[in-house]
Chains A and B, each alone.
Chain A
Amino acid sequence: MATVPIDLTVNGRGRSLQVAPHHTLLDVLRDDLALTGAKECCLVGECGACTVIVDGRTVDSCLMLAVEADGALVTTIEGLAAGGRLTPIQEAFLDEGGVQCGFCIPGQVISAHALLEANPHPTRAEIEEGMAGNLCRCGCYQQIIEAILATVEAAHP
């Protein structure tokens, strides 16, 4: 099957790849780049487990073809803790108890990170709305919201 060459930057590192047009960004991240932090669950853009940041905005990587990411800057969960140091939002997820099974957490952390980049002082309602695209069946929403609020509080005491 014909593949298409693409160049993209993933977590700051330039990548040149040959991808099948019908493979999603999620497929390529997981299968070709071995970045398995983004998870596969619903594959219809409902659960957010595959959330990554493309050119500054969160997307469900299951609903984006890899070829569409040609030239894009992609940040996955693996790109957050540079040098092994957790970001404040990652620390807050652990401190506030936002993590149970953890399967949705890469997507949750990415969404929380992007939410705070776009809106450093979100209200609780804005957090609830901004995180609604990330399902957590362990039901840790309250702790996740608290983690985001705690991060805001720590950044702007």
Chain B
Amino acid sequence: MIGRIGASPQRVGGRGRVTGLQQYVADIQLTDVLHAKLVTLACARGRIVSIDTSAAERVPGVRLVMTAADLPQPVPRFGPQFRDRPVLAIGETKYHGEPVAAVAADTKDAAEEAARLVKVEYQELPAVFTIEAALDPAAPLVQDADLRPGDKLATTNVLREHRVGWGDVEGTLADLIVENTYEFPMVTHFAIEPHAFMAAPDGEGIAVWSSIQHPSWLQKILAGILGLPLAKVRVYAPDPGGAFGGKQHAKYEPLVALMALRAGRPVRLVLTLEETFQAVRRASARINVRTGFHADGSFAFQDIAADYLIGAYADIADRVVGKGSYPGCGPYRVPAARIIARSVLSHTTPSTAFRGFGAPQVNWAVESNIDAGALALGIDRLELRLRNLARQGEAFIPFDTPADGHWELTVRRAAELIGWGTPLPPGRGRGIGVGIKSGPTTGLSYATVRLLADGSVIVYAGTSDMGQGARTILAQIASDELGAPLDWVAVVMGDTAVVPYDQQTSASRSTVLMGNAVLNACRDIQSRLRAMAARLEGIDPAEIVVEHGVVRLPGREVPIVDVLKPGLGRLGGELIGNGEMRKEGDPGHPLGGSAAFFEFNCTAIEAEVDSQTGDIVLVRHVTVSDVGKALNPLQVRMQDEGAAVMGLGHTLMEHYIFDEAGRIRNLGAIDYRIPTSMDLPLELLSDMVENEDGPGPYGSKGMSEGALLCVSAAVAGAVREATGAVIRDLPLTPERIWRSLQERRDG
């Protein structure tokens, strides 16, 4: 039957997407809605001297001009980790694009005109945009020290320092020590759907629409700011048009909600793409790696110091730093490790979660450094990795979940697909990288499933389907367990008044956590069906098994619906199942909890380099992930190949370029380049390893970030083999390669 586990049916919700009928937030028309526009300054850090709203208020159709003075006092601050971000800038802006006011008008035209006419007198203040500048003892503080009471780092721009380690790095002898510093650029999510927000007074409460990944978390933040019970804050979260982590946490929802309450009318704010660049980005990083090797290629130690440049407000960035750097030594047996990661504040766009969650930065450095060691030792790069790779069950991070896959199978498969070790034509090279990311450390998902009288099914889940295909996976699980064809399964998401609580859609958790919650809800229904069948047949429930859509009775099996209909009787009705899945934390753990699973990927590249221009042609890009069990193999492929292409973006072309005032010069799609269909590798091959050894339904693991983790190092390794150029700064632009080759020629 279609929809069963391991099949690849058309995606649930796909029809609306190919016909244009799918409604994203900006497509929803509310009657009487006001259009909002943000007012920003032309610099990063500006002291607000005065704001004159009179001209703006005179624009016909303008209903509200909101400044910090019009907000509840003190101006509410919010954030998922620290309550540091004000609803509107207080006293001074901290980054270019931070709003100092907002206007709401009957039309977009009026709102835009009024926003232009809000006159802000301000004084530009010294600001920091780089790690060096932020760490200078004389640097201006990004965050007021009084926002960080009792924090001994409060007089610096270091928000936090994360230290993890084991063994004795200083005391471990090594035959070879390789030390290098690597840089990872500031890049942005560039979801094709710019963030969109709406709010409307709703009885005694508020309704908020947002392209948010975590509707339940947003509900909590809004309830706190507005002083409302959770039940009076209704968050609608239509499926986001791409998120990649950039839509996890509240951004302008509190502002829009306060505007709607003040205006007494619905208010909508749809960001421009440029404004999204100023709202979300990945942390740049500078990573120093000192790797100790024994002569046989086994690791003696890893000593990693990573500075991540986060933005002006923490958002979830410090968690990104802590969690992303934590598996920095990779999936290897490392006897001694020291990882020190700092989140460094700056007057730039607040960085936030972004596919890979802080792991790609350190992976780039450590995997590249491993290549450098292999070269120095004369050991094949694949061989060296395999020699050190943790075997299943091995506690490669001593205080965490042991290796949860036969990872060597993944690495060997990637090597086979790239033709590792076979002869190469001149000008070509190969590279290989291995990536690992800790899955969720805590989690809580609830699901409700209703089996209706005709055998059709409704699944209620608080997960957001932002393209990863959660609707399809959850529908497949319900279809498989309850025997309904896939097109008889509806999946309801994105409305906190309707669906039960879900902690969040992040860390590739939904298949595992929400998937198990849905599975448990289906099992709840199955147990009711078993009782029903026992009653109908007059036998002991222990003689009955309900699974995979059928009821097994002694000597025969019948479809669920054949028990359901007589069981429900003349009044009809339905069976309702509830399911829950928890991943408990561990307060003593450095991350607050062990990994629910690891995402494991191996990427291998064959590249050809034009040594005169520095142009790279990716002849073949292989990406293989350990997914436990592919519930939908096509979706696994789409996630892995999509992540690979995204990884090629920051590897080859993406980076913010700043001016001296801290403004992003390449603000927008013309000069911030992302891959197009012409920038694909000549061959992009993905594959998966399935040993049904994951904690998710049917042995699945979370996936969708893994294939991005180690793209950079694999490409750089291929470039080095092709040309000899060693590049430690991303992106690997033709110019950087050309320069490196020039220096080699000159040197």
Contacts and interface: CB of A to CB of B under 8 A. Distances in A.
Interface in A129-147: 129, 131-145
A53 interface: no
Interface in A108-157: 109, 127-129, 131-145
Nearest to A80: B19
B80 interface: no
A27 B358 CA distance: 38
Interface in B169-214: 189-194
Given A93-B18, A97-B635, A137-B191, A40 B26 contact: yes
Contacts of A142: 641, 645, 680, 684
Contacts of A101: 191-193, 239-243, 466-467
B221 to A, nearest CB: 24
Nearest to A79: B20
A127 B24 CA distance: 28
A77 B19 contact: yes
Given A77-B20, A109-B18, A143-B641, A41 B194 contact: yes
A135 B194 CA distance: 14
B148 interface: no
B15 interface: yes
Question: Looking at chain A, what size class is its interface with the partner chain?
Answer: 35 or more
A44 B668 CA distance: 8
A102 B22 contact: yes
A42 interface: yes
A47 interface: yes
Contacts of B678: 128-129, 132
A4 interface: no
Contacts of B273: 41-43, 47
> Which applies to chain B's interface (DSSP): helix, strand, loop or mixed?
loop
Contacts of A144: 677
A94 B15 contact: yes
Contacts of B27: 30, 36
B516 to A, nearest CB: 23
Interface string B628-652: 0000001101100111111000000
B54 interface: no
A93 B27 CA distance: 22
B272 interface: yes
Contact of A143 (B20, B243, B466, B638): B638
Given A109-B18, A136-B192, A145 B467 contact: no
Given A137-B646, A142-B684, A99 B18 contact: yes
Nearest to A38: B20
A87 to B, nearest CB: 9
A44 B194 CA distance: 14
A104 B29 CA distance: 20
B668 A42 contact: yes
Contacts of B189: 137
B613 interface: no
A99 B17 contact: yes
B469 A100 contact: yes
Contacts of B634: 97
Contacts of A133: 676
A132 B677 contact: yes
A80 B17 CA distance: 13
Interface residues of B, number: 59
| Residue from B13, B17, B190 whose CB has the most chain A CB atoms within 10 Å | B17
Given A139-B646, A141-B677, A78 B467 contact: no
A115 B509 CA distance: 38
A105 interface: yes
B652 to A, nearest CB: 13
B244 interface: yes
B1 interface: no
Nearest to B241: A103
Contacts of B18: 77, 81, 86, 90, 93-94, 99, 102, 105-106, 109
Contacts of A86: 15, 18-19
Given A86-B19, A132-B677, A134-B677, A100 B642 contact: yes
A31 B641 CA distance: 35
Contacts of A47: 192, 273, 669
Contacts of B635: 97
Given A101-B242, A139-B643, A141-B645, A127 B677 contact: yes
A81 B668 CA distance: 33
Interface string B450-480: 0000000000000000111100000000000
Nearest to B676: A132
B19 A46 contact: no
A144 B675 CA distance: 14
B524 to A, nearest CB: 31
A135 B11 contact: no
B14 interface: yes
A55 interface: no
Nearest to A95: B10
Contacts of A1: 109
A138 B669 CA distance: 16
Given A129-B677, A141-B645, 12 more contacts: A1-B109, A41-B192, A44-B668, A81-B18, A81-B19, A86-B19, A101-B467, A102-B16, A102-B467, A132-B677, A139-B646, A143-B641
27 contacts: A1-B109, A31-B108, A36-B20, A42-B669, A44-B668, A44-B670, A86-B18, A94-B11, A94-B14, A94-B15, A97-B637, A99-B17, A99-B18, A102-B16, A106-B18, A129-B677, A132-B677, A136-B192, A138-B467, A138-B638, A139-B646, A142-B680, A142-B684, A143-B637, A143-B641, A144-B677, A145-B677
